[in-house]
Structure 1
Amino acid sequence: MTTATARNSDRRVSPVFLGIVAVMAVTGWAVWTDFAAKPGIGVFLFVTAAWVVSLCLHEYAHARTALHSGDISIGAKGYLTLNPLKYTHALLSIVLPVIFVIMGGIGLPGGAVFIERGRIQGRWKHSLISAAGPLTNVLFAVVCTAPFWLHSLDGVPPTFRYALAFLAMLQVTAAILNFLPIPGLDGYGVVEPWLSYSFRRQVEPFAQWGLLAVFALLWIPEVNHVFFDMIDWILGGLGIQPGETGCGQAFYQFWKGSPDPGFCGVTQ
């Protein structure tokens, strides 16, 4: 028998998630105050923690939307606690997205929560469940870019500004890539309910490779160049210049050496 106490525990925010938020807050403060002797380490920890927080919120949005659409099994699976350790595929949900960021500065969340689609009636509900995750990245990007498009950067330390610009870039890339109608990505989940049954059966075996296929395509120089030109154009419309995201990524990948102090305007 399900009790009110059990339901509350299913939805109580996990200490694991709160710990990640704490790391984000502390390292964000360290970057803001220039507390760390090596600012790159602070930027790395701050952006990585914030990225993992956004991954948790991405999956929470899927789960919460599914719950309100009819899948009442979501709570018992722990998805509403924001605990990344509860995800069905922790490797796809947390490990691979962090590796993608470290290797190439690409924000690409993976599939994580298992939703019992048979409990949900209506194609629009299925589409909305899939769209909820990337829309969370859009919201996160709006928050990260707000100081830029609101012209409220006075007093913001340069290193923190660059870290925020890089984090915003990750959110924009995550939203765009996840909305691609490719099997295995949320964009395909949006259109899948509207496709014929036979077509879905033919495409289903390729879903497990969709995420890696997109990442592999982005390693092709020509594709990468066009994609990031589009990202720079979008970020430019939000008030962020390519140099700012470039400096943010340079600080983030501190093992490659410090960014040019003259270009980034930061005293090392």
Structure 2
Amino acid sequence: MTTAATRSDRRISPIFLAIVAVMAVSGWAVWTDFAGQTGFAVFLFVTAAWIVSLCLHEYAHARTALHSGDISIGAKGYLTLNPLKYTHALLSIVLPVLFVIMGGIGLPGGAVFIERGRISGRWRHSLISAAGPLTNMLFAVVCTAPFWLDALDGVPTAFRNALAFLALLQVTAAILNFVPIPGLDGYGVIEPWLSYKIRRQVEPFAPFGLIAVFGILWIPEVNIAFFEAVDGLLNGLWVSEIESYCGQESYRFWQEQNPICSVNS
């Protein structure tokens, strides 16, 4: 009975599998230019892939916590990859997708509730927090594999640009998550190493951490530095700014495409 319950806790959710199916089918549609609706297909492909990455991000937190001593993780449904299990659907899925549509920024998604008291060792606590954004970086590396492997021959331009934009989202999510501000994973990495007094003083500000980050991004100098860092990482993965930009243009299929992207096609 216990074994059956454990298997149920870890069975991959049909919701997640459905999202993966949408990602696969829409990716095929982008590759083949099915029915001449490449823009809409790019939108579906990137959105589905982004939600998949959000699920993997939270799964990484949960799986690392499980192996670090929090055996309550399974009963909470975090190991099923069901996006609806990661806190509130609005905060975990809807808002991150809206930010992708509006600004092309990978907003950090939901969260898993970890019973930290079950876990001993500061390094384990830090690793649990780091697991999510590291997953985003790994996702970016996978997305850009055709670029840094110099294997773009035969890859349609629309699909290449979609991968470039998806990689940009992963990189922005990783960078934002690693900012050491309360409420974000970056603070979770350093929190175990701070004194109890400092942690108590900082704790009330945790709910406002993400808002603070996006407020700071409105400062022109910070915004420029942020996207220079993003572009630098993408260039290191052999992805050019024009490819990620045109991927974002295709994603917003309801807008008129920039002529520069037509030339790039």
TM-score normalised according to structure 1 size: 0.95
**CA 1:165–1:47 in structure 2 vs 1: closer, same or farther (change >3 Å)?**
same
Task: Report 1:184-195 matches (<5 A).
Answer: 184-195=183-194
Say yes or no: does 1:122 pair with 2:127: no
* Alpha carbons 2:183, 2:208 under 8 Å: kept: yes
- Indicate the residue corresponding to 1:68 in structure 2: 67
Per mean C-alpha deviation after superposition, the further-off stretch among 206-215 and 157-166 is 206-215
Task: Report 1:67-106 matches (<5 A).
Answer: 67-106=66-105
* Alpha carbons 2:86, 2:110 under 8 Å: kept: no
Extract structure 1 runs of 4+ deviating beyond 6 A: none
* Alpha carbons 1:107, 1:173 under 8 Å: kept: yes
- Indicate the residue corresponding to 1:172 in structure 2: 171
* Alpha carbons 1:32, 1:160 under 8 Å: kept: yes
Instruction: For 1:189 and 1:262, locate their aligned partners in 2 and report how far apart those are by CA, in whole Å.
Output: 40
Structure 2 gap ranges (5+): none
Size of the aligned set, in residue pairs, is 265
* Alpha carbons 1:165, 1:245 under 8 Å: kept: yes
* Alpha carbons 1:89, 1:113 under 8 Å: kept: no
Question: Which whole-Å deviations, capped at 9, do the CAs of 1:158-204 have from their partners, x for residues lacking one?
Answer: 00000000000111111111111111100000000000111111111
Per mean C-alpha deviation after superposition, the further-off stretch among 204-213 and 57-66 is 204-213
Matched residue SS, 2:204:
helix
TM-aligned CA deviation for residue 262 of structure 1: 6.0
Instruction: For 2:25 and 2:258, locate their aligned partners in 1 and report how far apart those are by CA, in whole Å.
Output: 23
* Alpha carbons 2:106, 2:172 under 8 Å: kept: yes
- Indicate the residue corresponding to 2:13 in structure 1: 14
Instruction: For 2:49 and 2:213, locate their aligned partners in 1 and report how far apart those are by CA, in whole Å.
Output: 23
Say yes or no: does 1:219 pair with 2:218: yes
Matched residue SS, 2:34:
coil
TM-score normalised according to structure 2 size: 0.96
> Letter of the aligned partner of 2:9 in structure 1?
D
Instruction: For 2:258 and 2:40, locate their aligned partners in 1 and report how far apart those are by CA, in whole Å.
Output: 13
* Alpha carbons 1:74, 1:80 under 8 Å: kept: yes
Identity, % of aligned pairs?
Answer: 76
TM-aligned CA deviation for residue 261 of structure 1: 6.4
Instruction: For 1:187 and 1:36, locate their aligned partners in 2 and report how far apart those are by CA, in whole Å.
Output: 44
* Alpha carbons 1:36, 1:42 under 8 Å: kept: no
- Indicate the residue corresponding to 2:58 in structure 1: 59
**CA 1:14–1:264 in structure 2 vs 1: closer, same or farther (change >3 Å)?**
farther
Task: Report 1:30-41 matches (<5 A).
Answer: 30-41=29-40
- Indicate the residue corresponding to 1:160 in structure 2: 159
TM-aligned CA deviation for residue 51 of structure 1: 0.3
TM-aligned CA deviation for residue 100 of structure 1: 1.3
**CA 1:114–1:202 in structure 2 vs 1: closer, same or farther (change >3 Å)?**
same
Instruction: For 2:263 and 2:116, locate their aligned partners in 1 and report how far apart those are by CA, in whole Å.
Output: 49
Per mean C-alpha deviation after superposition, the further-off stretch among 250-259 and 96-105 is 250-259
- Indicate the residue corresponding to 1:207 in structure 2: 206
Instruction: For 1:221 and 1:253, locate their aligned partners in 2 and report how far apart those are by CA, in whole Å.
Output: 24
Structure 1 gap ranges (5+): none
What is the root-mean-square deviation of aligned Cα atoms in Å?
A: 1.3
Matched residue SS, 1:256:
coil
Per mean C-alpha deviation after superposition, the further-off stretch among 134-143 and 231-240 is 231-240
- Indicate the residue corresponding to 2:23 in structure 1: 24
- Indicate the residue corresponding to 2:143 in structure 1: 144
* Alpha carbons 1:52, 1:94 under 8 Å: kept: yes
* Alpha carbons 2:39, 2:250 under 8 Å: kept: yes
Instruction: For 1:164 and 1:3, locate their aligned partners in 2 and report how far apart those are by CA, in whole Å.
Output: 42
Matched residue SS, 2:254:
helix
* Alpha carbons 1:69, 1:120 under 8 Å: kept: yes
Instruction: For 1:100 and 1:148, locate their aligned partners in 2 and report how far apart those are by CA, in whole Å.
Output: 26
